Chains A and B, each alone.
Chain A
Amino acid sequence: MLEITDLTKHFGVNTAVDTANISVPEAKMIGIIGRSGAGKSTLLRMLNRLSDASAGSIVFEGQDVTNLKGAARREWQSRCAMIFQQFNLVPRMDVVSNVLHGTLNRRSTLATMFNLYPQTDIHKAIEILDRLGIAEQAPKRAEALSGGQQQRVAIARALMQDPKIILADEPIASLDPMNAQIVMQSLRQIHEEDGRMVIANLHTLDTARRYCDRVIGMRDGRIVFDGTPEQLTTVAARDIYGAGDDFSEAATSTEIETLDRQPELA
């Protein structure tokens, strides 16, 4: 289904992603873990074609999407939804309009500029919001919502695209534990009910274990682990995070961000 071969990304002299090989034969929920700067975001951004690959290839269902340009690239992006850590909604527009942005690739630019979306799309947008439990927020401005609600609006926008793949770049890193759980459960539910492939960057081991069918570990741009959650032992996790014997499971659960900022561990 999805074949990533020797995918590489250079930023000047730095290599953010180093010859990554991932093969996904069927729609699974995949978690990518690793500490900040391991290349997780860069990998997802290359998949969505927000940034170009330096080398290697991405093939989805037989179509090489690595070097698509213009309209073809936008068409691919509409089939490959992305969810961001900071939600990336349009703050001053209402929730339904933000969800309707998921259809932009299918509609004419002029019609969308005048907000002329078909009624069926508007109804569908509200149904998706209802599925995610935030239908009553529909007419509010996106900026008036809490972080967890905004992330669910972002997921609704992704669903509105009716994508084959949903990429989620640290979807819960800005959320409190309660909202993080709701968002992760929504993603899992979407995967199970709709059969969409979900690839999520996560920085906590327990989230990856709990929600994903397969876990990929990255360290310094390289893929150093690829297996089931059961295979992800403490030793493997130490290798991924480049930590010593003092590394414990609990340390990555919520405080990994603060740990990463400490120079002696980085």
Chain B
Amino acid sequence: MSDISTVTIQSDYMEMVKRKRLYGGAMLAFFALIFVSGFMLADSRNAGGFWQGIPKVFDFPKDVWKDTLPKLDQLPGHFNTYFPSLIETINIAAVSTLLGTILAIFLSLFATRGLAKYLFLIGPTRRVMDTLRAFPEIVIALVLIFILGGGPVPAMIAIAFHTAGSLGKLFSEVNENADLKPVEGLSSVGATWTQRMWFGVIPQVAPNYFSYAILRFEINIRASAILGFVGAGGIGYELKNAMSWGQGKYDDAAAIFILLFATIVFFDQLSSHLRDRLISKGGH
């Protein structure tokens, strides 16, 4: 009897394996198709053509390298010159990350089933986050610069909005994995919604919030550098100038690239250090 059932199990399982392989193969073919057709479309729309352009891709880095090598001694001077604008860029990124994160925490708690205070607000909150994410920072910044004039404030608002949207989504996914037992325990003692969230949810999700926020901070440093190109000040503005001076003067641009790279490395190291401490201490 046992033999018969084993054979049945074997053939049933083989059936399942074959079905899975079929699906897997179909998916693979589908992705290959999208990849090839997308590439061909992009290549046909590209004015210069991809294959002709590819050798020239490295021309700019080569120029930068050629201009910088003979003037290596001037690099520290350039660092000094551009450091204040780097600080401005980091400032924009820091303030907007902080504002965006706080907003994201509220949005995420309102958008998570099982935690939300008002069930009917779950959908609208999610749509709000979608809207915040839908507009690129640069669009919001351009509109705000048009209204408020150039400077760091429009950039800050633009980045904060986008941060709130994307972190809100990530946070609400983290919230969904939170254990609801502590929340139930706090409900049983008569805690308010805010108390339940603060004591029952936040301690569980804080390490994940933290690492997402730090990653977002890194992204925001880059975003605020880009916004400098459209008049938001900071190191992006200097980079735009340095690059438009053209060949022979790329050493300024090289200095700025090095500064940006060093900044990202610095904050990456800092965040992993802080995160290790946060987790190993066993606190939240």
Contact = CB atoms under 8 A, between A and B. Distances in A.
Contacts of A122: 10, 13-14, 17
Interface in A85-124: 96, 114-116, 119, 122-123
A138 B21 contact: no
Given A116-B21, A123-B10, A126-B9, A139 B2 contact: no
A138 B17 CA distance: 12
Range class of the B interface residue count: 10 to 19
B143 interface: no
Range class of the A interface residue count: 10 to 19
A126 B6 contact: yes
User: DSSP majority for the A interface?
Assistant: helix
Contacts of B10: 122-123, 126-127
Given A126-B9, A126-B10, A139 B16 contact: yes
A127 B10 CA distance: 8
Interface in B1-37: 2, 5-6, 9-10, 12-14, 16-17, 20-21, 24
Interface in A123-178: 123, 126-127, 130, 135-136, 138-139
Interface string B167-211: 000000000000000000000000000000000000000000000
A139 B6 contact: no
B5 A135 contact: yes
A136 B17 contact: no
Contacts of B5: 135-136
A135 B16 CA distance: 15
Contacts of A139: 12-13, 16
Contacts of A114: 21, 24
Contact of A126 (B13, B20, B21, B24): B13
Interface of B: 2, 5-6, 9-10, 12-14, 16-17, 20-21, 24
Given A114-B21, A122-B14, 13 more contacts: A115-B20, A115-B24, A116-B21, A122-B17, A123-B14, A126-B13, A130-B2, A130-B6, A135-B5, A135-B6, A138-B9, A139-B12, A139-B13
B212 to A, nearest CB: 23
Given A130-B6, A136-B5, A115 B21 contact: yes
Contact of A138 (B2, B13, B20, B24): B13
Nearest to B6: A130
A144 to B, nearest CB: 15
Nearest to B20: A115
B17 A127 contact: no
Contact of B9 (A115, A116, A135): A135
Nearest to A96: B13
Nearest to B18: A119
Listed from nearest, the 6 A-B pairs whose CB atoms lie closest are A130-B6, A126-B10, A123-B10, A135-B9, A138-B9, A138-B13
A154 B24 CA distance: 27
A138 to B, nearest CB: 5
A135 B20 CA distance: 20
A98 to B, nearest CB: 13
